[in-house]
Amino acid sequence: MQLATGTVVDGKIVVEGESFPEGTVVTILARESDETFELPPDLEAELLESIAEAERGDVISAEELLARLRRHS
């Protein structure tokens, strides 16, 4: 799984610095300009740490994630 941020330009999403193979299926999550959300402090800290891990490249492949989930089910 890959996480990227883009901007809509002329009705198309432009992702700077990222390359996706032709035919890649993507999911788009767009927030409203005035939309916010709040988390309890412990969940906010967990979210911020997860974002920092992803930015450092400390991630696993989708295949590894699925394998781990199968082992726990």
pTM of model > 0.85: no
Q: Residue 7 contacts by C-beta under 8 Å, 6 or more apart in sequence?
A: 13, 14, 16
Nearest to 40 by CA among 48, 31, 32: 48
Per-residue confidence band for 1, with pLDDT thresholds at 50, 70 and 90: low
Distance CA 51, CA 39 (A): 15
At 2-22, the pLDDT tens digits run: 778 888 899 988 888 778 888
Beta bridge partners of 38: none
